[in-house]
DNA sequence: CAGCATCCGCTCGGATACTG
DNA sequence: CAGTATCCGAGCGGATGCTG
C-alpha cells in the first residue's frame, strides 16, 4: 500500500496532530488520565505548574481530537470528569514511555549537559 | 527505592527535559536520525517546514542533552553529520511510535474532530 | 556546505477577575 | 466546582542577509 500520510511533509494533516501531542501539557495530561477518570480541579492540582486556562484549552483540544472524553454529572455543584477514550488509550503506552524516559535517564542527561558545558568553557 | 524524579512536579529537572522532547521538531529529528547519520542540509530538506535557524537550535540542544552526536569531517567544504548517541537510541522506539500513531490514526482523529464540530454547530 | 546574527510578528501561556 | 474572559509580557520561530 502507499502512504497516505507523512509527518515529514509539512502539508500533511498529521503535522497538526503531532503538534498537539508533542506538547508538555498534553503528554502529562494523557499520562495522568491513564489511571482512570479525573476531575477538573484534581488535574489542576496534580499537574504542578499547569494553569487553569491552559488546562482548559488543552482538554478541549484533546477532546476534539477524540482522545479524551468529558462527562458531566448533574450534582450540586456540577462535577465533571475527564477520561481517555479508546482512541486515547492507544497512546498511553507511548506517553508513559516518554515520561518514564525522562525520569530514568535524567542523570545521564545531566552528565551530558555538564560535559557539553565544560567542553565549551575549557 | 524512592522516586528521585517526578515529571508532575514543576520543580523537577525532568520537566526541562520533557519540554525539550515534547517538541515537534525534536521528535521529527530524532525519528529521522534513527536511520543513520544525516548531514545538516539533508535534514533541512527532509523535514519540511523546519527552518535553518530552528534546526540549528534544536540540534544543539539535543547534542547538549546527550541525544545527538555531531561529527565534523575535514572535507572541502567541511561536511557535518548528525547521529544518535546510544542514549538517544533508547528513545527512538518511543519517538517512532508517536509518528506512526499520528499517521495511522489520522482518519479517526479527523472523524472525531468533525463530530465535535458538528455537535457544536447543531 | 554548514552555519551565525538580526529583526520582528505572532502565539503561547501566566495572572487576574468574574460566572453558573 | 468548573469553568469563561481579558490583559499582557516573554519567547518561539520564520525571513533575510552574511560568513568561513
Q: Is residue B40 part of a domain?
A: yes
Closest residue to A46, CB basis, from B8, B18, B27 = B8
Distance from the Cα of A9 to chain B's closest Cα (Å) equals 5
B10, closest nucleotide (Cα–C1'): C14
Chain-chain contact of B109 with A65 (C-beta, under 8 angstroms): yes
Burial of A100 from C-beta contacts in 10 A (0-12 / 13-18 / 19+):
middle
Of all residues in chain B, the one with the smallest CA distance to A114 is: B64
Residue A103: pLDDT band with limits 50, 70, 90? very high
Q: Is residue B38 part of a domain?
A: yes
Of all residues in chain B, the one with the smallest CA distance to A47 is: B8
Q: Is residue B60 part of a domain?
A: yes
Chain-chain contact of A116 with B24 (C-beta, under 8 angstroms): no
Residue B122: pLDDT band with limits 50, 70, 90? low
Residue A2: pLDDT band with limits 50, 70, 90? low
Number of domains in chain A: 1
pLDDT digits (tens, 9 = 90+) for A104-115: 999 999 999 999
Q: Is residue B110 part of a domain?
A: yes
Q: If you average pLDDT over residues A61-86, what whole number do you get? A: 96
Chain-chain contact of B91 with A103 (C-beta, under 8 angstroms): no
pLDDT digits (tens, 9 = 90+) for B41-71: 999 999 999 999 999 999 999 999 999 999 9
Predicted structure pTM score: 0.94
Chain-chain contact of B109 with A49 (C-beta, under 8 angstroms): no
Average pLDDT in chain A: 93
pLDDT at B3: 65
Residue A95 lies in domain? 14-121
More confident residue, B121 or B102: B102
Contacts A–B by Cβ distance under 8 A = 151
State the residue for C-alpha cell 545538516.
Answer: B40
Residue B1: pLDDT band with limits 50, 70, 90? very low
Q: With a 7 Å cutoff on the CB, does B49 touch strand D?
A: yes
Q: Is residue A108 part of a domain?
A: yes
Contacts of B74 by beta carbon, 8 Å cutoff, 6+ apart: none
Q: Is residue B5 part of a domain?
A: no
CATH number at residue A33: 1.10.10.10
Amino acid at each position: 500500500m502507499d502512504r497516505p500520510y507523512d509527518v515529514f511533509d509539512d502539508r500533511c494533516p498529521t503535522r497538526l496532530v503531532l503538534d498537539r501531542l508533542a506538547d508538555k501539557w498534553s503528554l502529562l495530561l494523557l499520562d495522568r488520565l491513564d489511571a482512570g477518570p479525573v476531575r477538573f480541579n484534581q488535574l489542576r492540582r496534580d499537574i504542578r505548574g499547569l494553569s487553569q486556562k491552559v488546562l482548559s484549552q488543552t482538554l478541549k483540544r484533546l477532546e476534539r481530537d477524540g482522545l479524551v472524553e468529558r462527562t458531566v454529572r448533574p450534582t450540586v455543584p456540577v462535577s465533571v470528569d475527564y477520561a481517555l477514550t479508546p482512541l486515547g488509550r492507544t497512546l498511553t503506552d507511548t506517553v508513559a514511555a516518554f515520561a518514564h524516559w525522562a525520569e530514568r535517564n535524567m542523570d545521564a542527561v545531566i552528565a551530558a549537559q555538564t560535559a557539553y558545558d565544560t567542553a565549551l568553557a575549557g
